[in-house]
Each structure stands twice: as structure tokens, then as C-alpha cells.
Amino acid sequence: MKIIEITDGFLSEETTLKVAITELLKERQDTFNKLKKANPAFVPNQHLYMAHIKNCKSLLKKLNNKYMS
């Protein structure tokens, strides 16, 4: 598990959230890919990894849409 320290004053709220979600997404994708490479036929808790990845992508998309409008 990776801990991301969020501090005030350096990044906007939007950027801070995007960085945190992007880091989580990258970690989940990397872990999932390693597990899949080790055993392509079976990835333990595959549905959870897929749900986390989907949720992170959805949150990033919503953030982009919210701050772009």
C-alpha cells in the first residue's frame, strides 16, 4: 500500500486529487499486470482490481469534466 501525503498550498485541489487518483490507478494496474503475468489463467481477486481500476478512471474523467467546464 502506498501512502500519498497531501499538503496545502503547493497544488490546487483539482491537481492534488488527480495526482492521488492517478497514483492509485497506476499502482492497481501494475499489481494487476504482475499477477496476470505470473498466472494468466487466474488472478486472485481479479474483480476487485478491475473495479478499482474502473472507479479510478471514472473519477479522473469526472474531475476533468468538472474542471474543464
Whether residue 50 is contained in a domain is answered as yes
Tens digits of per-residue pLDDT, 30-69? 999 999 999 988 988 999 999 999 999 999 999 888 766 5
Whether residue 24 is contained in a domain is answered as yes
Kindly state the average pLDDT of the residues 3-17: 71
Whether residue 1 is contained in a domain is answered as no
* Predicted local confidence at residue 13, as pLDDT: 78
Comparing 10-14, 21-25, 42-46, 62-66, the range with the smallest average pLDDT is 10-14
* Predicted local confidence at residue 58, as pLDDT: 94
15: cell is: 491537481
Choice between 40 and 6, residue whose per-residue pLDDT is larger: 40
50: cell is: 478491475
Whether residue 21 is contained in a domain is answered as yes
Whether residue 23 is contained in a domain is answered as yes
